[in-house]
Amino acid sequence: MPKPIMAEKEDAGLKETLQMSSNASSLAEEAEVLGEPNAGTTRLYRADAVIKEEEKQNQIDPKLGDPEVLEQLRQKENLEENSHSVVWDRLRKEHTRILAFDYEDGCEILTIKPQDIGLLPRDTWVYGNNSFLLHGYYNYRYLILAKLFNPKGTPRYLLGIPGHYYSNERYMASMFGFPNFVLSKDQPMEDGRFGFWYTDIKIGG
């Protein structure tokens, strides 16, 4: 008995559907085996290929700017910038050196201005508005910053003001924080009292 025409069409359609389903399944398996393409490579897929995309679950963004590490770097920078040798090297590149006096272990002496005190560590800024210091600067147009070498340890640093060793000047110098005096190597004619009122300062760690 011959099959009805409609039944034959339904059988053919079913076979085609099963074939397409089988092809799609094979392509999906092939894509799964191949995996994701590497960077810089090109892969061609058929239009009906099924590419499996993996979902990233529980993704955690990396922590940026660890506060402890940044704090350590900041402290290291402060130590480096405030090191007395670093501060002095920076000053000596920008200021004139003079031979104001001698020191048995050797010394370096720079001429500075009141505004240069702002280049020193914060502890010395108070001298920038010191009346005795400003008076000496306006009379002689310079101040001195001296480094006294110490073979056994940290150098000694002095901030000095030109002046003369007289009783009234000594009183004013002591009152404004400059109680010490050193005579200059070069003395003016008929005057053996010229030198520098000074105080010890700290210019770095």
**Same domain assignment for residues 116 and 181:** yes
- What does DSSP say about strands 143-148 and 180-183: parallel, antiparallel, or unpaired? unpaired
What is the reported pLDDT for 32?
52
User: Residues 136, 162: contact at Cβ < 8 Å?
Assistant: yes
Distance CA 150, CA 156 (A): 7
5 φ, ψ to 5°? -60, -40
Distance CA 129, CA 65 (A): 41
Structure tokens at 37: 């393409």
> 118: helix, coil or strand?
helix
**Helical axes 131-140 vs 167-175, angle rounded to 10°:** 130
**Same domain assignment for residues 112 and 189:** yes
**Same domain assignment for residues 10 and 98:** no
User: Residues 91, 83: contact at Cβ < 8 Å?
Assistant: no
67 belongs to a structural domain: no
Distance CA 109, CA 91 (A): 11
Instruction: Please name every residue paired with 160 in a beta bridge, in sequence order, or none if there are none.
Output: 144, 198
What 8-state DSSP symbol labels residue 177? T
Pick from 10, 32, 51: which residue ends a domain?
51
The tens-digit pLDDT sequence of the chain (205 residues) is 554 545 454 555 545 555 555 555 554 555 554 555 555 555 555 555 555 555 555 555 556 667 777 777 766 665 555 577 788 888 889 999 999 999 999 999 999 999 999 988 888 999 999 999 999 999 999 999 999 999 988 899 999 999 999 999 999 999 999 999 999 998 988 788 999 999 999 886 5
78 belongs to a structural domain: no
What is the reported pLDDT for 181?
98
**Same domain assignment for residues 33 and 87:** no
56 belongs to a structural domain: no
Domain of residue 192, residue span:
83-201
Phi-psi region of 55 (alpha: psi -120 to 50; beta: other; left: phi over 0): beta
Number of domains composing the chain: 2
